[in-house]
Structure 1
Amino acid sequence: MGGSLRSPSTSLTALWVAVEGAAEAGADTRVIDLKRLGLPFYTSEHGIPPSARRLADTVEAADALLWSSPTYHGSVSGAFKNAVDWLALLADHDPPLVMAPSSPGRRREPRSPGAAGTSHGGTRHR
């Protein structure tokens, strides 16, 4: 799942590289481009939109997830956070997670989004 709305998106490019590697290793892969998914802003006051249901169903069926988001002010992008908000509402599934930050931040070192925590050079495994 890639969470950048920018064109071209470096985080989506990084995600494609990682997904291609997973596919070469034998994984059945699918990329969720959040820009193309077109999720509305999360709110519990409205019904569940079809795009959020498709996202949740795809994530629920996954054995593992690979997420890629730019880091803005030490956290994930707004589009990425919005998708996670929808997933919290829709899915009770805990697949393995790998965060792959694609922007170095101010310190010129890899930084994992603050909401996800860090270990092992900016990558978190669950």
Structure 2
Amino acid sequence: MTTILGLSGSLRKASFNAGLLRAAAELAPPSTTVVIGSIHDVPLYNADDEAAHGIPPAVQALKASLQAADGLLLVTPEYNNGIPGVFKNAIDWMSRPASDIPLHFGGKPVALLGASPGGFGTVLSQNDWLPVLRTLGTRHWSAGRMLVARAGTVFDREGNLTDEATLARLGDFMAGFAEFIES
């Protein structure tokens, strides 16, 4: 059984990206489980807080889920042509202390998904993740990017992916990512 930790970088209730993650979990191959983590309770990173109080419980839970997972799926919105600050903040916390990076991220297979109302999907946000993932020592799947452009036309008002062609693409993407993890 392959386990993937999936994280959405949006806090919005009807988020396209949270909906994309839910659909990815449902479309994963039968031998693959996608555990949906949450960044909602991750505080802003502050080294003084880390020194005084250690790693916050929400971050400890994410790190434990990541360590137990065989792969990591980042489902990223794009804010102002880049990575959402709240999402980067969560990954920054998860990389603390720095000595834990190899234990949690080192060699971990990673794939990127993203949905955006614009015509280019989340290509710029996904591009911005690549140097971060290299720094963390992850193993990025070369075909491991899927963009959903004009998301308002393929999701309903609650943020559920409803477009059959996009669902089929996502199913193929998840099957390929699971195969990459298992190789």
State the match for 2:23 in structure 1. Answer: 17
In structure 1, runs of 5+ residues without a counterpart are none
So what's the TM-score if we normalise by structure 1?
A: 0.81
Q: Distance in 1 between matches of 2:48 and 2:77?
A: 28
Q: Distance in 1 between matches of 2:145 and 2:124?
A: 5
Contact residue 74 and residue 112 of structure 2 kept, 8 A: yes
The structure with more helix, counted as a fraction of residues: 2
| Structure 1 ranges of 4+ moved more than 6 A | none
User: Which stretch of the first structure deviates more once superposed, 72-81 or 59-68?
Assistant: 72-81
Query: Does 1:115 find its partner at 2:128?
Result: yes
Q: 1:53 aligns with which of 31, 56, 60?
A: 60
Contact residue 101 and residue 112 of structure 1 kept, 8 A: no
Q: Aligned partner of 2:39: which letter?
A: L
Query: Does 1:44 find its partner at 2:50?
Result: no
SS at match of 2:73: strand
Structure number with larger C-alpha Rg: 2
In structure 2, runs of 5+ residues without a counterpart are 1-6, 132-141, 147-176
Q: Count matched residues.
A: 120
Q: 2:11 aligns with which of 1, 5, 29?
A: 5
User: Which stretch of the first structure deviates more once superposed, 71-80 or 110-119?
Assistant: 110-119
Contact residue 70 and residue 101 of structure 1 kept, 8 A: yes
CA RMSD of aligned residues (A): 2.5
Q: Distance in 2 between matches of 1:112 and 1:30?
A: 26
Contact residue 9 and residue 39 of structure 2 kept, 8 A: yes
Contact residue 111 and residue 145 of structure 2 kept, 8 A: no
So what's the TM-score if we normalise by structure 2?
A: 0.58
1:121 deviation in Å? 9.2
State the match for 2:153 in structure 1. Answer: none
Aligned 1:55-74 pairs, distance under 5 A:
55-74=62-81
Q: Distance in 1 between matches of 2:33 and 2:44?
A: 30
1:72 deviation in Å? 0.5
1:5 deviation in Å? 1.2
Q: Aligned partner of 1:43: which letter?
A: N
SS at match of 1:75: coil
The structure with more strand, counted as a fraction of residues: 2
Instruction: Provide closer, same or farther for how the CA distance between residues 33 and 81 of structure 1 changes in structure 2, counting only shifts above 3 A.
Output: same
State the match for 2:163 in structure 1. Answer: none
